[in-house]
Each structure stands twice: as C-alpha cells, then as structure tokens.
Amino acid sequence: MIIYNVTINIDDSVHDQWLNWLKTKHIGDVLATGCFYKAKLSKVLVDEEMGGTTYSIQYATESNEKLQEYYKTFAPGLREEGLRLFGDKMLAFRTELEVLNEFFSNEN
C-alpha cells in the first residue's frame, strides 16, 4: 500500500470555508479519480509559529502506478482549484509513504 500524504496549513481567515470545501468537495473529487480507495483526514496537534491550523489528508492506493496516474492525469487540475479558491492562504506539502507493515493491539 502507498500513502499519499498532503499536509496543509490553512489561514484562520478562510479556515471554515476551506474545511467545508475539503470535506464536501475536494476529498470526494480525489477519490472519484479511481486512483485511491480511501482517505483519512486528521488535524495536526501542534501550535504553529506561523499561525493557522494544520491538517493531514492521507490517501491510500494499491500501487505506485496508481499514484503516478493521479499525478499525471488529475493532480494539476485538482491543485489548481485549491489555489484559485484559497491562494496564499494555504501552504501545502506532499509526502509519499510505503506501508511496510501494520501492527494491531491484542486488546479489545
């Protein structure tokens, strides 16, 4: 499994509008590409020196080929929409992760 992690710091002035757009449109649009089979939205629990609030969206895909298909075919348009709507009010960086193992607690 490959995780495509997008970490975004969003300015307080557009926070609520951005979070609504992310939850009701953008994540669904990314999943609709067929390149990912699930997404997880998390709030990063740190106080940012630069202000704003930071989130992590983790998209899961079966293969690097699917991720490369997303980059080539879909990412430019989806990124452009966020930039057009929120411009310099959001700062994003992306990380690719390969899941090697998953471990679970034996506790119920």
**Residue 52 · residue 9 · CB < 8 Å:** yes
Looking at residues 80-84, what average pLDDT do you find? 93
- The dihedral built from the CA positions of residue 12, 13, 17 and 21, taken in this order, carries a sign that is negative
Please determine, for residue 45, whether its predicted confidence score (pLDDT) is greater than 80.
yes
Quick one: pLDDT at residue 47? 79
pTM: 0.91
* pLDDT value at 48 more than 80: no
The CA distance from 8 to 10, in Å, is 6
Answer whether residue 59 shows pLDDT above 70.
yes
Percent of the chain with pLDDT over 90: 92
Query: Can you give the pLDDT at residue 26?
Result: 97
Q: Is 60 helix (H, G, I), strand (E, B) or coil?
A: strand
Rounded average pLDDT over 63-91:
95
Instruction: Look at residue 108 in the predicted model and tell me its pLDDT.
Output: 62
Instruction: For each of the domains in the chain, give its residue range(s) and CATH number, in order of start.
Output: 2-98 (3.30.70.100)
Spell out the residues 6+ positions from residue 57 whose beta carbon is closer than 8 angstroms to its own.
Answer: 5, 6, 8, 22, 27, 39, 40, 41, 42
Helix (H) / strand (E) containing 50: none
Report which DSSP code applies to 16: H
